[in-house]
Amino acid sequence: MFTEKYKLEKFEDIIGQKDALYAILKWFDSWKPGDKALLLHGPTGVGKTSIIEALALEKSIDFIEMNASNYRSAKQIRETIGQSVAQQSLFKRGKIFMIDEIDSLSGSADRGGISEMIKLIRATGHPIVFTANKPFQSKLRNLRKYCKLVELRKLAISDIEKQLKKIVKKEKMKIERDALRELAKLAGGDLRAAMNDLESLSHKKKITADDIQLLGKREKAITVYEALSKIFKADTVLEARRVIGTVDKPPDELFWWIESNVMREYSKAEELAAAFDALSIADVFRQRIRNTHNWRFLAYMIDFMAGGVAVARRKKYFKHVHYQYPTLIATLGRTKRMRKEQHEHLLGLAKQLHCSTRKVRTEFLPYLKLF
Ligand SMILES: Nc1ncnc2c1ncn2[C@@H]1O[C@H](COP(=O)(O)OP(=O)(O)OP(=O)(O)O)[C@@H](O)[C@H]1O
Ligand SMILES: [Mg+2]
């Protein structure tokens, strides 16, 4: 991945963030036990994690990294970090702790977790850095009192452009100048996103402004209602299947949206027949994915449920349609609790009867109901 291959390693690789780096160094160089921890915050993909990694490298100290989302209880934090925070480092080289993404400390453990972190800050013999996207949440209020806050900002478009240019050169890629600029803009200050976008186009002979425009469209999430309209009005299979990636609902769920709304859009019998034919094939692949977990079938499922449905239509409909929530999903939502209870009962029976829950449901339950 470009983000690994071109990851910043030394201070000289850092783009922008001058004030922040100065503040970080000032904090680090003067740090002694009892001082505040560092809370490095800012949007995603601007260097929080990698700048601290670079700091450890530049200062030749041990670097101990943990992700806050892995901790579920105060006890766990105590047991895993507590020890090493108090320990001397090997050969007295010094060390630095980074607790990444502190704002994602697992839900229920929040309170205990945060106060455990504060205990660490007060007891540690080594500097601790926390990183966060959203440092001003109320759950971090107490932690903030024990931290020096330093903000990393979104990167400037021109800075992102420069970095992309470097990669383009090293990878011997070809890209139109406008396209490069557009790509940098699209990232919205997030260098990781910019590098990932560039990588996604790296197979092209030459990247053009049109490629970037398509990418931009894909990036913007659309509502499921917009997606349905686009699929039903698409002219080609490709156009229709592309829509699927732009909605923030999984294809599995979109399948039901398409299935329950196609007859609101199409009105000719032949079109509906062809559309449902395509859906039935998509459904076969849907089941195969469920049964075999072979996700390669997903591409075919999408081809049929979006592309197949789109080309089932002869002419575009220009009427305004009120798409509706799929009844199946609504029913499943309403009956979720009941089904969970039912499943628990089935599990109980399955254990007693030494068979699968499916067998209980299909072969035993009908008789039990009769009794
Ligand atoms: N200011 C920067 N200078 C050079 N490279 C950068 C900079 N910011 C980010 N990068 C590069 O972008 C990628 C992601 O950076 P990093 O993981 O540090 O982001 P982050 O701020 O920790 O994001 P997140 O909030 O998602 O964890 C890395 O490859 C990194 O080298
Ligand atoms: Mg990070």
pLDDT over 90, % of the chain: 47
The identity of residue 123, as a single letter, is A
Buried/exposed code over 79-105 (b: 16+ C-beta within 10 A; e: otherwise): eebbeebeeeeeeeeebbbbbbbbbeb
Q: Which ligand is nearest to the CA of 41?
A: 1
CA distance 133 to 42: 5
Output 21 or 67, whichever has higher pLDDT: 21
Position 109 scores a pLDDT of: 46
CA of 214 to the centre of ligand 1 (A): 25
In this structure, which ligand is nearest to the CA of 164?
Answer: 1
Cα-based angle 168, 214, 313 (whole degrees, multiple of 5): 150
Ligand 2 centre from 357 Cα, in Å? 43
Return d(Cα 36, Cα 16) in angstroms, integer: 25
Judge whether 45 and 82 are in contact, CB under 8 Å.
Answer: no
**Distance in angstroms (rounded) separating the CA atoms of residues 138 and 129:** 19
Q: Per-residue DSSP letters for 26-74?
A: HHHHH--TTSPEEEEE-STTSSHHHHHHHHHHHTT-EEEEEEGGG--SH
Q: Which residue has the higher pLDDT, 4 or 69?
A: 4
In CATH, 157-219 is 1.20.120.1200 = no
- Per-residue pLDDT tens for 259-270? 999 999 999 999
Q: What is the pLDDT of residue 139?
A: 84
The yes-or-no verdict on residue 370 having pLDDT over 70 is yes
Q: Output the pLDDT for position 92.
A: 65
pLDDT of residue 88: 64
Residue 110's pLDDT is what? 54
Side by side, the strands of the sheet bearing 128-132 are 62-67, 95-100, 128-132, 37-41, 147-151
Q: Is 132 helix (H, G, I), strand (E, B) or coil?
A: strand
Ligand 2 centre from 344 Cα, in Å? Answer: 40
Give the confidence band of 80 by pLDDT, cuts at 50, 70, 90.
confident
Indicate yes or no: pTM above 0.95: no
CATH of domain 17-151: 3.40.50.300
Q: How far is the CA of 49 from the centre of ligand 2 (A)?
A: 4
DSSP character at residue 155: P
Which 3-state string (H, E, C) describes 339-356? Answer: HHHHHHHHHHHHHHHCCC
Residue 231 has pLDDT above 80, yes or no: yes
Point out the ligand 1 atom lying closest to the alpha carbon of residue 4: 29
Report the distance separating Cα 335 and Cα 274, nearest Å. Answer: 32
Q: What is the mean pLDDT of residues 22-33?
A: 94
Banded pLDDT at 26 (limits 50, 70, 90): very high
Q: How far is CA 177 from CA 2, 183, 207, 273, in A?
A: 20, 10, 9, 48
Pocket test for ligand 1, best of 133, 191, 199 (most atoms within 8 A of CB): 191
* The pLDDT of residue 215: 77
- Residues with beta carbon inside 6 Å of ligand 1? 3, 7-8, 13-17, 44-50, 133, 155, 191-192
Tokens of 325: 């929530």
Asked whether residue 152 carries a pLDDT value surpassing 60, the answer given is yes
Helix (H, G, I), strand (E, B) or coil at 150: strand
Q: How far is CA 327 from CA 74, 260, 281, 330, 334, in A?
A: 43, 7, 21, 5, 10
pLDDT of residue 163: 94
314 DSSP assignment: S
Q: Where are the domains of the chain?
A: 17-151, 157-219, 224-332, 335-370
Instruction: Provide the percentage of residues in the chain whose pLDDT is more than 70.
Output: 94
